[in-house]
């Protein structure tokens, strides 16, 4: 399952699977029950209990989780967003943090991030709240919790919703509370490079009975099948034949597979050890780079689950990123931009309904000078030491 090549010093990601996941996958394949069913339902229940949420709804990806959530907020009765609502988002995040907001008919309002934590700046959030603001989307970047307690207080004081895109930060905590659970809902991803992997898969957690039921309908064609008789979406006729094919919401097919649910349960049992090892690697990374004259690293807020390790080139070598990336690539070290950098600089913005007022100094800094390397669920501190020596030597020469 591993994507790590023999000549790779530090791979971007690595498989968290072993023989146990393969046995579980074979068991499901042999059963012939492949479409969403019992295994998915059990994973949802276990996941909700693990993060401390009342409900969890699984989707076929983290991107789909965001899509299902925002359409549920569009069609919910008690918990919803008006179509004229603006959603405040950080300028640094992944594409499918933003697309579902626009696709559901809401307006994106971008704000700058904190250059130390890389997460949304609460001061910028406050500056951008107006009478059209309906929600704040906090993205916990690279495993690092946003200032969620502050954002929650802001949301409550302004009577707006707090949402979390926690796709990169499973296992992170703030004040002992799991990220993804501070607002009305939080989303997660189980893609290959993330903390746990179900091949493809995502989840939304919420304490709202209505919201989870609307998501279940939207996830599967917008029908009433599978909803309880006393559901909050649409009354059932109690004629099973009719209720199987009654369509009440403009939904999608975002359902996960049974094999993903089954593997998810196995992966979840390993999460504590996975996060513990990622934090052990991170401790060494921070020790190596905290006093660097050439690079700044992400400042931890709460307890990060350290999706990856970001670095931003300081002034003295600010023009050297291309040369550095070439060196790392040739040395067998895989790198990527810090998520998508300043997303406003992408051509796709011409297709989105958005507002971006003021400056985006920190997002541009991340875009122009930043990169990150992978973290893993196994001990590779010796490789981090080699990485540190390599790029510090490079920077020393470049700064002369």
Instruction: Kindly list the distances between the CA atom of residue 178 and the CA atoms of 48, 143, 197, 308, 382, in Å, as whole numbers in the listed order.
Output: 11, 11, 19, 19, 30
Catalytic: 376? no
Domain residue spans of the chain: 19-268, 271-398
Band (pLDDT 50/70/90 cuts) for residue 316 is very high
pLDDT digits (tens, 9 = 90+) for 187-229: 999 999 999 999 999 999 999 999 999 999 999 999 999 999 9
Work out the mean pLDDT of the chain and round it to a whole number.
Answer: 96
Strand partners, 178: 173
Q: At what angle are helices 209-219 and 62-75 packed, to 10 degrees?
A: 120
pLDDT digits (tens, 9 = 90+) for 134-184: 999 999 999 999 999 999 999 999 999 999 999 999 999 999 999 999 999
Q: How far apart are CA 16 and CA 238, in angstroms?
A: 44
Q: How far apart are CA 366 and CA 312, in angstroms?
A: 7
Query: Contact at 8 Å (CB) between 72 and 211?
Result: yes
Residue 279 phi/psi, 5-degree rounding, is -70, -35
Find the catalytic residue in 194, 195, 376, 377.
194
For residue 5, is pLDDT > 50?
A: no
Band (pLDDT 50/70/90 cuts) for residue 83 is confident
Return the beta strands (E) in 176-294 as ranges.
177-178, 185-189, 202-206
pLDDT of residue 7: 61
The dihedral sign for the CA sequence 113, 119, 125, 127: negative
Q: How far apart are CA 194 and CA 192, in angstroms?
A: 6
- Whole-prediction pTM value? 0.96
Q: How far apart are CA 389 and CA 10, in angstroms?
A: 14
Query: Contact at 8 Å (CB) between 140 and 169?
Result: yes
pLDDT digits (tens, 9 = 90+) for 20-61: 999 999 999 999 999 999 999 999 999 999 999 999 999 999
Query: Contact at 8 Å (CB) between 303 and 343?
Result: no
Pick the CATH number of 271-398 from 3.40.50.300, 1.10.150.240, 3.40.630.30, 3.90.1150.10: 3.90.1150.10
pLDDT of residue 232: 96
pLDDT of residue 126: 98
CB 306: neighbour CB atoms within 10 A? 28
DSSP state of 333: B
Band (pLDDT 50/70/90 cuts) for residue 400 is confident
Residue 179 phi/psi, 5-degree rounding, is -65, 150
pLDDT of residue 2: 43
Pick the CATH number of 19-268 from 3.50.4.10, 3.40.640.10, 1.20.1740.10, 3.40.50.150: 3.40.640.10
For residue 240, is pLDDT > 90?
A: no
For residue 3, is pLDDT > 70?
A: no
For residue 4, is pLDDT > 70?
A: no
CB 354: neighbour CB atoms within 10 A? 18
Helix (H) / strand (E) element for 163: namely strand 161-165
Instruction: Kindly list the distances between the CA atom of residue 220 and the CA atoms of 27, 36, 203, 226, in Å, as whole numbers in the listed order.
Output: 25, 10, 14, 9
Kindly state the tokens that stand for 55: 């409900």
The fraction of the chain above a pLDDT of 70, given in percent, is 98
Q: How far apart are CA 309 and CA 142, in angstroms?
A: 8
The fraction of the chain above a pLDDT of 90, given in percent, is 95
224: Cβ–Cβ under 8 A, 6 or more apart, which residues? 217, 231, 233, 234, 236, 243, 246, 247, 248
Q: Poorest-confidence range of 75-89, 112-126, 128-142, 348-362?
A: 75-89
Q: Poorest-confidence range of 243-247, 265-269, 321-325?
A: 243-247
Averaged pLDDT, 298-314: 98
């Amino acid at each position: 399952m591993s994507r790590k090549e023999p000549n790779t010093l530090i791979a971007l990601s690595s498989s968290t699977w072993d023989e146990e996941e393969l046995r579980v996958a074979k068991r499901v394949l042999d059963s012939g029950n492949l479409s969403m069913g019992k295994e998915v339902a059990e994973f949802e229940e276990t996941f909700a209990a693990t993060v401390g949420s009342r409900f969890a709804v699984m989707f076929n990806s983290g991107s789909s989780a965001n899509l299902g959530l925002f359409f549920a907020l569009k069609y919910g009765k008690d918990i919803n967003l008006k179509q004229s609502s603006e959603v405040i988002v950080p300028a640094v995040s992944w594409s499918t943090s933003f697309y579902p907001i626009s696709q559901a008919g809401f307006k994106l309002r971008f704000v700058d991030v904190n250059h130390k934590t890389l997460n949304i700046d609460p001061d910028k959030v406050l500056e951008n709240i107006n009478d059209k603001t309906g929600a704040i989307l906090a993205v916990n970047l690279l495993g690092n919790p946003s200032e969620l307690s502050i954002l929650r207080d802001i949301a409550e004081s302004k009577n707006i919703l707090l949402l979390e895109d926690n796709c990169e930060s499973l296992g992170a905590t703030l004040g002992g509370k799991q990220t993804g659970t501070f607002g009305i809902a939080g989303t997660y991803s189980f893609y290959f490079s993330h903390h746990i992997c179900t091949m493809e898969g995502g989840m939304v957690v919420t304490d709202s009975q209505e919201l989870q039921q609307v998501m279940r309908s939207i996830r599967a064609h917008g029908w009433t099948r599978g909803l309880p008789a006393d559901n909050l979406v649409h009354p059932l006729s109690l004629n099973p034949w009719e209720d199987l094919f009654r369509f009440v919401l403009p939904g999608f097919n975002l359902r996960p597979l049974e094999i993903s649910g089954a593997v998810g349960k196995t992966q979840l049992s390993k999460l504590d050890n996975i996060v513990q090892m990622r934090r052990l690697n991170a401790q060494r990374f921070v020790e190596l780079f905290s006093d660097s004259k050439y690079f700044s690293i992400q400042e931890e807020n709460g307890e990060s689950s350290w999706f990856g390790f970001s670095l931003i080139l300081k002034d003295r070598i600010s023009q050297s990123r291309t040369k550095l990336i070439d060196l790392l690539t040739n040395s067998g070290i895989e790198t990527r931009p810090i998520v998508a950098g300043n997303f406003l600089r992408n051509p796709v913005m011409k297709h989105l309904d958005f507002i971006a007022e003021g400056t985006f100094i920190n997002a541009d800094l991340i875009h122009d000078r930043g990169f990150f390397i992978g973290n893993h669920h196994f001990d590779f501190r010796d490789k981090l030491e080699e990485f540190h020596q390599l790029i510090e030597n490079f920077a020393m020469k470049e700064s002369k």
